A and B are shown apart, each in its own frame.
Chain A
Amino acid sequence: MNIEVFLFYIFSSLAIICGIMVISSRNPVFSVLFLVLVFCNAAGLLLLLETDFLAMLFLIVYVGAIAVLFLFVVMMLNVRITTLKESVLRYLPIGGLILFIFFFEVGSVINGDLVPFFSSKLACFENDFLILNQDLKTTLWTNQIDPTTNVAALGEVLYTYYVYCFIIASLILLVAMIGAILLTMRKRTNVKKQEIFDQVYGNINTNVRYVN
Chain B
Amino acid sequence: MTYYIISWIIEILIIVVPLLIAVAYFTLAERKIIASMQRRRGPDKVGIWGLLQPLADGLKLLVKETILPSNSNVAIFVAAPIMTFLLSVLGWAVIPYGETVVLSDLNVGILYVFAVSSLGVYGILMSGWSSNSKYAFLGALRSAAQMVSYEVSLGLIIISVLLCAGSLNLSKIVLAQESIWYIIPLFPVFLMFFISALAETNRAPFDLPEAEAELVAGYNVEYSAMGFALFFLGEYANILMMCALTTILFLGGWLPPIAILPFTLIPGPLWFGIKIAFIGFVFIWVRASYPRYRYDQLMRLGWKVFLPLSLAWVLLVSGVLVGFDWYPVF
**Chain A residues close to B by CB (< 8 Å):** 29, 33, 36, 52-53, 56-57, 59-60, 63-65, 68-69, 71-72, 75-76, 149-152, 194, 196
Given contacts A72-B141, A72-B144, contact A60 B111 (CB under 8 A): yes
Given contacts A64-B115, A68-B148, A72-B141, contact A33 B108 (CB under 8 A): no
User: Interface readout for B72-90 with A: 1 if CB under 8 Å, 0 if not?
Assistant: 0000100000000000000
On whether the beta carbons of A196 and B300 are closer than 8 Å, the reply is yes
- Contacting residue for B107 out of A57, A60, A65, A149, CB 8 A: A149
A106 CA to B125 CA in the complex, in Å?
A: 36
Question: B112 on the interface (CB 8 Å rule)?
Answer: yes
A52 CA to B111 CA in the complex, in Å?
A: 10
On whether the beta carbons of B330 and A59 are closer than 8 Å, the reply is no
A60 CA to B168 CA in the complex, in Å?
A: 15
A150 CA to B107 CA in the complex, in Å?
A: 8
A196 CA to B300 CA in the complex, in Å?
A: 10
Within 8 A of A (CB), among B89-132: 106-108, 111-112, 114-115, 118-119, 121-122, 125-126, 129
Counting residue pairs across A and B whose Cβ atoms lie within 8 Å, the total is 67
Q: Tell me which residues across on chain B come within 8 A of A76, comparing CB atoms.
A: 141
On whether the beta carbons of B118 and A60 are closer than 8 Å, the reply is yes
On whether the beta carbons of A64 and B125 are closer than 8 Å, the reply is no
Given contacts A63-B119, A65-B148, contact A151 B107 (CB under 8 A): yes
Min CB–CB distance A197 → chain B (angstroms): 10
Q: A29-B129, A56-B114, A68-B144 are in contact. List 13 more A-B contacts (CB 8 A).
A: A33-B126, A52-B106, A53-B108, A59-B115, A60-B114, A64-B119, A64-B151, A65-B151, A72-B125, A75-B125, A76-B141, A151-B168, A196-B300
Min CB–CB distance A150 → chain B (angstroms): 7
List, sorted by A's number, 15 A–B pairs whose CB atoms are closer than 8 Å: A52-B107, A53-B108, A53-B111, A56-B114, A56-B115, A60-B111, A60-B115, A63-B118, A64-B115, A65-B118, A65-B151, A71-B125, A72-B125, A151-B108, A196-B297
Which of A36, A69, A75 lies at the interface centre, i.e. has the most chain B CB atoms within 10 A of its CB? A75
Q: Tell me which residues across on chain A come within 8 A of B119, comparing CB atoms.
A: 59, 63-64
Of all A-B residue pairs in the complex, the 6 with the closest CB atoms, nearest first, are A64-B118, A56-B111, A59-B115, A149-B107, A60-B115, A56-B108
Instruction: Provide the main secondary structure of the chain A interface.
Output: helix
- Contacting residue for A56 out of B112, B125, B137, CB 8 A: B112
A34 CA to B153 CA in the complex, in Å?
A: 28
Which of A57, A60, A71, A150 lies at the interface centre, i.e. has the most chain B CB atoms within 10 A of its CB? A60
| Residue of A with least CB distance to B109 | A56
Q: Tell me which residues across on chain A come within 8 A of B122, comparing CB atoms.
A: 33, 36, 68, 71
Q: Tell me which residues across on chain B come within 8 A of A68, comparing CB atoms.
A: 121-122, 125, 144, 148
A149 CA to B108 CA in the complex, in Å?
A: 9
A152 CA to B137 CA in the complex, in Å?
A: 43
A71 CA to B168 CA in the complex, in Å?
A: 30
Q: Tell me which residues across on chain B come within 8 A of A194, comparing CB atoms.
A: 296-297
A68 CA to B153 CA in the complex, in Å?
A: 17
| Residue of A with least CB distance to B113 | A56
On whether the beta carbons of A152 and B141 are closer than 8 Å, the reply is no
